[in-house]
Amino acid sequence: MLNDKKFAPAPYAAFHAFRNDLNAGDEIVVPKLGQSPKYFGEYFHQRKLLITEQMLSVWQEISVDRENSLKRVLSGPMGVGKSYLALFLAAKAYAERW
């Protein structure tokens, strides 16, 4: 299972957009990071992710302390964007080589 390339992420270089200064309202293409949230990459959005203020503030809070990065649990009802927030955080952490 560990040698299976089915869920292998794209190279770090493909995540260059996540290393740039991001602002709320930016729309970036998310390279393959392994598994994606349900329906992500389908329909008219393709693999684009709209960056929100919430995503940036959660990343800012987490990135301050790299030693203790396990601080938060995403919870809430269905349809509030937990999967997309988790995808953003994972892609940003991967781009920053955490």
Report pLDDT digits (tens) over 55-80. 999 898 888 877 776 666 777 778 77
Please name the residues in contact with 50: beta carbons below 8 A apart, sequence gap of 6 or more.
25, 26, 27
Report pLDDT digits (tens) over 4-42. 777 788 888 888 888 888 999 999 988 888 877 776 766
Taking the whole predicted model, whether its pTM rises above 0.85 is answered as: no
Query: For residue 44, what are its two tokens?
Result: 């008219």
pLDDT range class, residue 1, cuts 50, 70, 90: very low
Count of Cβ atoms closer than 10 Å to residue 21 Cβ: 5
